Structure 1
Amino acid sequence: MKDGIHPNYRDVCFVDLSNGFKFVTRSCAPTKESIKMEDGRELPLFKLETTSESHPFYTGQQKSVDTLGGRVEKFRNKFAQFSKK
């Protein structure tokens, strides 16, 4: 491989700012901060607003807005008198 053309691919600690959840994965994400892990390693730190630990879709707290079913029933009620029998 040529030197100087590849991104800096290394272990990075990602932290969810909403609940403090941390996970380590390999990434090229640019960082300016670092964090000391429990095992003694010092890793680059990348802060995230939301992750699978805090996103409503993945936590099961997402509220379903069922507007389609209401529209269909409204249409059927409105035009029921015009239906062929």
Structure 2
Amino acid sequence: MRNGIHPPYGPVVFRDRAANHAFLTRSTMSADRTIVWEDGHPYPVVDVEISDVSHPFHTGTARVPDAAGRVGRFERRYGKRGGA
């Protein structure tokens, strides 16, 4: 790697406020605020709006569109396609 062109890479805590969950990882993001982690060391903290703990896809609360229901509703409303 060339010196002087890459951002600093170090430990950062990402905190999901909606789910009251935080995890420590490494990132190039920086933050003005710090938090004391479980190991007793202070780390920069970045607040995120959504993470894997609160995302509907990962929690199982995501709604899957019902394609068959949509097609049936369309056919009832506009009739089936006439064909050969």
TM-score (norm 1): 0.79
| Segments ≥4 residues shifted beyond 4 Å | none
Structure 1 stretches lacking a partner, 5+ long: none
How far the C-alpha of 1:58 sits from its partner, in A, is: 0.4
Q: Percent identity?
A: 37
For each residue in 1:5-64, what CA deviation from the matched residue of structure 2 results, as whole angstroms up to 9, or x when unmatched?
A: 221100000000102111111100121111001111111101100000001110001122
Q: Taking structure 1 as reference, are residues 19 and 79 closer, same or farther at Cα in structure 2, changes over 3 Å only?
A: closer
Equivalence for 1:72: 71
Count of residue pairs the alignment pairs up: 82
| Superposed CA RMSD | 2.2
TM-score (norm 2): 0.80
| Largest Rg, 1 or 2 | 1
Equivalence for 1:16: 16
CA distance, structure 2, for counterparts of residue 62 and residue 4 of structure 1 = 44
Structure 2 stretches lacking a partner, 5+ long: none
Q: Between Structure 1 and Structure 2, which shows a larger proportion of helix residues?
A: 1
